[in-house]
Structure 1
């Protein structure tokens, strides 16, 4: 699994007196994945195969196409992954920031925080992970670094780190740190190995995704954004292997609801000992069992989201029909879906829109898109809101609320 080394820490002259300590610290360097892939017990492989079958069955059992849910699931995953990183933002603010970023109008659209903008960048990076990075060719270190650059634009030190980092303890030295990743001299070779393993098929997709995630978290190759990029790599591997694409599974939501066990299982992965031994197998089993259990939770949450959005769509159709019946002129329902009906279909993926953005997506005139949005306002499906200087937005609060309800539901299960 890996080995702990010993390094001498020399005092930092820029540190305050209390931080100027000398001593030995023990960075952890994991074993390579591609060069000597871990041998796994048959029962673990069988469990992974069963969970994979559960993922594939989603496309035939959910009430709403996963393709139509792709935008919603990407946003849900990015919000939860950011929350693990300590960035908590109301989902509706995230939807506003995502709209602003996608429309290229950040200077116009208002009403969201700096943290919401960070989560929107997480969405953009996650989308790159399941498209560009997951293309049939090899996953590369440069491709992984590009995820960090998308996540942290303008960051001073993107790319693999050239200094020793650590988690916990003092900001001035690693002597009391909770975990110290590999020395910087080892990072490039470890990342090259990880990319090679992620590009192969030595293990079933879920095993591969779980090992890539844990290995990346152990290497900690960047000075910021490691956890979020590590969770993106789960989806990059699964997309590359053909599981649930372009949609993603809300695995970070499962991690959030089981955060203590998430940390414990990742820590167990950093076992000091020879690969293939009993302790090594136990550590791998603990992490991968947790990971597969979390994927089961993610599958159920994806199914629940699909059912909730299907129910929401039925409610919207009922409200729209009732609104139409109350108009002075009774209109026959068109044989082809009206612009308002088509607009309803796009709301789960685009809960914030303007007449101009709806017109582009639906390929209709701005006037037709505006009339459709106003019809949905009249039916109580959309809310009209000023989102910037001279910009009128239309928001679906009910879509944004689904993620909040999911977090509360899983929190209740955690407390039980």
Structure 2
């Protein structure tokens, strides 16, 4: 059963801060129930909502919107930004894409912020996919994910050995918004969490909801809990086959509706036996909040897929017009370098001849010729990335990514009706 455990805090601060920050005393920390032992009962209304959400996700996953999965890393970069405590406007999609290019090629003029976000995106994507593909998840997998996000802070790696808390004072837990379990409980709770993640006792969406809430409640690390907790959502959905490409921006929707998110987590953290009315209702409250977020995420991802399809039609028309102007009426071959680039462009909106040759297995000369063809057709434009070096990019696609991210930060998913409520890229010109 979940309980609020009385604990004693002994201050270790002797001087340098106000006396009220140096106080010692009693506080309560929450120890959640084990996931593998707890029963789950959902009302007919919540069960219907859950079925609707799963249908929406499966319908989206069946769509043949090439590149939508790759675009998810741009949508999810807001998490990397927020978790890195970057203030102000987010780096633009163009800057992030160039920073991603800089992971495999020399690119000059990159900002530290863009590089940090791109590196975090890559770390989360790679580590999450490793966890999704593994036969049995262990606590070590989550530890590896955390350490990959905190490469510059090795002292913070691993399961915490001290009491932590959320909100309030930096010196004591007495005014905290929430106090996780003491460090002596963390190992057992984490073992239970990964055991639950390895099973299939509940539907994929319910499993993702409970795993995320339990992880955030345990708060097992000194830092990086938010990023790992959000990665768990996408890992569970991918692992269970509901969202094969992790294209759902569920965590961004939860961040947009922060008040509802906190309300749901607070309800989840009720004390009492696992079959008591207040605990059952608390879990259902959280699951309802999460399922609503999944529905919103599926709707937004479907809209993005429509936008991408519209862009593809524009690209095809531009190429067709260009070829007609040159007196060529035959359609492009399906294996031509131009066609290969266009098919993959949503996932790789910034390219060089080297990148194209590596991804598509064409010669550097064929890659360069194809990129120039797309530039002349006004599908791509160029940007300098160093002395005598150019990258080719799709401005329309990069603008779409920024617009979509801004929409996801609006409580009405329309920045004309409700402004973004967290750092996002500047509005495209």
Question: Please, what TM-score do these two structures have when normalized by structure 1?
Answer: 0.91
Q: Over residues 233-269 of structure 1, what are the superposed CA-to-partner deviations in whole Å (9 max), with x where a residue is unaligned?
A: 0111111111121342111232233222122222222
**Corresponding residue of 1:391:** 389
**Corresponding residue of 2:151:** 153
- Give the Å deviation of 1:14: 5.5
Deviates more, 1:134-143 or 1:37-46: 37-46
Q: Over residues 18-63 of structure 1, what are the superposed CA-to-partner deviations in whole Å (9 max), with x where a residue is unaligned?
A: 1321121222111111133434445434432332122112234x35
- Give the Å deviation of 1:114: 2.7
- Give the Å deviation of 1:75: 2.9
Distance 1:310 1:361, change over 3 A: same
Q: Are residues 1:91 and 2:93 paired?
A: yes
Q: CA RMSD in A?
A: 2.2
Partner Cα distance (2:388, 2:131) in 1: 38
**Corresponding residue of 1:64:** 65
Distance 1:248 1:37, change over 3 A: farther
Q: SS at 1:27's partner residue?
A: strand
**Corresponding residue of 2:426:** none
Q: Are residues 1:278 and 2:277 paired?
A: yes
Partner Cα distance (1:128, 1:43) in 2: 37
- Give the Å deviation of 1:390: 4.6
Q: SS at 1:159's partner residue?
A: coil
Q: Over residues 137-174 of structure 1, what are the superposed CA-to-partner deviations in whole Å (9 max), with x where a residue is unaligned?
A: 12111111111122222322211111211111221222
Deviates more, 1:278-287 or 1:109-118: 109-118
Give unmatched runs, 5+ long, in structure 2: 419-429
**Corresponding residue of 2:24:** 22
**Corresponding residue of 2:424:** none
Q: Are residues 1:125 and 2:123 paired?
A: yes
Q: Count residues with an aligned counterpart.
A: 407
- Give the Å deviation of 1:131: 2.4
**Corresponding residue of 1:199:** 198
- Give the Å deviation of 1:208: 0.5
Give unmatched runs, 5+ long, in structure 1: none
Out of 354, 357, 381, the position equivalent to 2:355 is 357
Distance 1:3 1:406, change over 3 A: same
Q: Over residues 99-145 of structure 1, what are the superposed CA-to-partner deviations in whole Å (9 max), with x where a residue is unaligned?
A: 222x1x4xx32344333233223322332354210125121111111
CA contact (8 A) 1:124 1:150 kept: no
Partner Cα distance (1:319, 1:235) in 2: 36
Distance 1:89 1:64, change over 3 A: same
Structure-to-structure mapping, 1:11-410, within 5 angstroms: 11-13=11-13, 16-18=16-18, 19-60=21-62, 62=63, 64-65=65-66, 68-76=67-75, 78-85=76-83, 86-87=85-86, 88-101=90-103, 103=104, 105=105, 108-135=106-133, 137-156=135-154, 157-327=156-326, 330=328, 332-410=330-408
Question: Please, what TM-score do these two structures have when normalized by structure 2?
Answer: 0.88
**Corresponding residue of 1:9:** 9
Deviates more, 1:307-316 or 1:375-384: 375-384
Partner Cα distance (1:208, 1:74) in 2: 23
Q: Over residues 262-321 of structure 1, what are the superposed CA-to-partner deviations in whole Å (9 max), with x where a residue is unaligned?
A: 222222222122222111122111111010000001111111111111100111111122
Distance 1:371 1:54, change over 3 A: same
Partner Cα distance (2:114, 2:39) in 1: 39
